[in-house]
Structure 1
């Protein structure tokens, strides 16, 4: 892959996190019923960053849960014949809570669909909202984000790479082209 451009640097990511945190608070009013659920892998550090920002704004902790959607994917056999699922990291009751599902990139919608299935298996939330850092289009399912850091129109031969300090050593978003 060839890097085409850096579309968000650390400052731009921080501004998007601040805006998304404010939008979540404005839309939901009551922080006590709020749970952030990060989709593995890069949805987790993004959810943690949003929770930290909400704590700065409201001085209240918002729980962050980790959601592994491996067994819910519709392309499971394409990934591996025997997928590896780590131990359960989801320890919160989401029944009657407002769940904000958090991921780095929204593309076809299939990851979000799998995450919705996984969430419903964990309880019956009051509502589920979706926070995304990058919405790149090309939806195959009728899914849209409630909170978006940046809309980035892409072609099918481009790939968005989100990097966070926690997983990659730096905060940036790249657009790459396939050869």
Structure 2
């Protein structure tokens, strides 16, 4: 499976980008077990084995990861799993469903990244519970952010790969 080709085709279908593109991309990612498996391998291969982080999952993508790989994630992330609501990038406040945190350092796994609104909203919610809490790394399938963030790790980054996409 070539993720570059899949994203190139999706960009052709949604040349305007924006919410329609991201909604279609999110649906595609959630429904493709090969992409989900590749993503989880990518995450595990890029984190040290002795991690004491917790992991944050959000929205429908988070539910899919939790339902299919929760047993793996709970063994790998000593700090536990926090599952939050979706819609944060669209202005919904993050609801973590917990009143205490098991650790202060979290890894955020999501399907896509653009402006960082979801990450920021979740980090704010974590800090409301523990002021020392933070998201140390974000792993996504697709990074469409214009500004490079060294803490965001992606299987596909549009602006690094834009020269490969002939629309």
State if a TM-score over 0.5 links the two structures: yes
Size of the alignment, in residue pairs? 135
Q: What TM-score results when the alignment is normalised by the length of structure 2? A: 0.56
Question: Equivalents in 1 of 2:96, 2:33: separation in Å?
Answer: 28
What are the equivalent positions in structure 2 for 1:46-125 lying under 5 Å apart?
46=65, 51-54=70-73, 63-68=80-85, 76=91, 90-91=97-98, 93-94=100-101, 96-125=103-132
Q: CA deviation at 1:121?
A: 0.9
**Correspondence for 1:130 among 116, 133, 137:** 137
Query: Could you give the per-residue CA deviations for residues 115-168 of structure 1, whole angstroms, max 9, x where no partner exists?
Result: 22111112134652233332332347x7454443x11417xxxxxxxxxxxxxx
> Take 2:99 and 2:86, find their aligned partners in 1: how far apart are those partners?
16
Alpha-carbon distance in 2 for matches of 1:49, 1:62: 19
> Which structure would you say has the larger RCO, counting Cα contacts within 8 Å and 6 or more residues apart?
1
Distance 2:66 2:37 in 1: 13
In structure 1, C-alpha distance between the alignment counterparts of 2:111 and 2:36, rounded to whole Å: 11
2:50 pairs, out of 29, 48, 72, with 29
- Mark the runs of 5 or more structure 2 residues left unpaired by the alignment: 1-7, 11-24, 160-167
Tell me: CA distance 1:113–1:127, structure 2 relative to 1, closer, same or farther (3 Å): closer
C-alpha distance in 2 between matches for 1:48 and 1:131: 20
What TM-score, normalized by structure 1, do the two folds share? 0.53
Structure 2 partner of 1:165: none
Q: Which has the higher helix share?
A: 2
CA 50–129 in structure 1, closer or farther in 2 if over 3 Å, else same: farther
Instruction: From the two aligned structures, give the one with the greater strand fraction.
Output: 1
